[in-house]
Amino acid sequence: MNLSVKDISKRYGKVTALNAVSLHCQKGEIVGLLGRNGAGKTTLFKILFGLVKPDSGQVDFERSKQKSLGGIIEKPGLYGYLNALENMKVFSRMQGLQLTDQEIKLNLERVGLPIERNDRVQNYSMGMKQRLAIAIALLNHPNYLVLDEPFSGLDPIGIKAISSLILDLVSKDKIGVLIASHLVDQVSAISDRIYVINNGEIINSGETQQLIRDHSPFYTLYGSNIGESQCLKKYQAKLFPTKAIVQVESHKIVEILKELQHENIEITSCVPEVDFEKLFDIKA
């Protein structure tokens, strides 16, 4: 059974936090939930974990394990005055687990944390705290991992490291991962599918690459001699010695690449430039 959210709605007084939200995630895939701060992402995740009761709708997922869902909501809830091993012991006992030190160390190694480090977690970087929180979320081997803003506060190196960790977990363990974030480029880089939420409603959804194509009015083409292209002039492209920026509909880009090939211009990269505002504000 997939992790499935069906027509979830939630109001706080006169404020509608969620309005008939539906989405699904299956094991072995990464699904992104994109939205600005206050769009309803965290409220939905709290409903998934039973921390908030919805006004209507339902959440379904495979409950064959003691813990089918693991995750991080808002910030990693760690005990800063304890070290990583001690944090793992506390949270494992909370989940009714009796793990040996060796088993806990294996869990830390699994997320790329150094097992020899014994200082307090409050000294850790945000990236290391995220890794530890993910290790705790993976206790009991859940079918699905739910991550709320896992890239928040990270530098580019930290973002790349957490992204690689998520991809590795999905590849090796075949778990499903649902990621909520306002960072479009980071989520789209690793997600198989994306849902876009705004003001509590899903306003866009689909396969990641298709959504990018549908919301990419500009393409940046790279090639060592692309500035010599004649065909790009009819598309009113902005030409530079090694790159060109062209505004065309997605189905036209294949035709342009063929024309460039006929001109003996070797394209090394074709990058769609996503219109993030359009992605967030316009219904599909």
Q: What is the pLDDT of residue 10?
A: 95
CA distance 80 to 135: 16
How many CB atoms are closer than 10 A to CB 129?
21
Q: How far apart are the first and last CA of the chain?
A: 27
Q: What average pLDDT score do residues 144-168 get?
A: 88
**Cα–Cα distances in angstroms (integers) from residue 86 to residues 81, 215, 222, 240, in the given order:** 10, 47, 50, 56
pLDDT of residue 26: 92
What's the pLDDT at 278? 67
Closest among 140, 1, 139, 142 to 58, alpha carbons compared: 1
Residue 284's pLDDT is what?
42
Average pLDDT of the chain, as a whole number = 87
Residue 279's contacts (CB-CB under 8 Å, 6 or more residues apart) are: 34, 184, 196, 204, 211, 215
Report yes or no: 204 and 283 within 8 Å, Cβ to Cβ. yes
Structure-block tokens of residue 40: 């309803």
DSSP letter assigned to residue 113: -
Helix (H) or strand (E) holding 256: helix 253-262
pLDDT: which is higher, 175 or 94 = 175
Give the pLDDT of residue 184.
81
Q: Are 142 and 65 in contact (CB under 8 A)?
A: yes
Indicate whether 146 pLDDT > 50.
Answer: yes
For residue 217, count other CB atoms closer than 10 A to its CB. 14
Write the CA distances from 223 to 251, 254, 257, integer angstroms.
21, 16, 11
Looking at the DSSP bridge assignments, the partners of residue 6 are 58
CA of residue 132 relative to chain centroid, distance = 18
The dihedrals phi and psi of 189, each to the nearest 5 degrees, come to -70, -25
E runs forming strands in the chain:
3-12, 15-25, 30-34, 56-60, 69-72, 144-148, 176-181, 193-198, 201-207, 218-222, 238-239, 243-247, 269-273
Domains identified in the chain and CATH numbers: 3-206 (3.40.50.300), 215-281 (3.30.70.100)
- 33 φ, ψ to 5°? -115, 105
Collapsed DSSP state (helix, strand, coil) of residue 87: helix
pTM: 0.79
Q: Could you identify the residue written with the tokens 């309005």?
A: 19
For the segment 17-73, what is each residue's pLDDT rounded down to a tens digit? 999 999 999 999 999 999 888 889 999 999 998 899 999 999 988 766 566 788 888
The DSSP string of 11-26 is: EETTEEEEEEEEEEE-
Would you mind telling me the total number of residues written for the chain in this entry?
284
Cα Rg of the chain, angstroms: 22
Contact 151, 4 (CB under 8 A): no
- Provide the token pair at 120: 């307090």
CA-to-CA distance for 71 and 145, rounded, in angstroms? 5
What are the tens digits of pLDDT across the range 242-281? Answer: 999 998 887 788 889 999 999 998 889 888 877 666 666 6
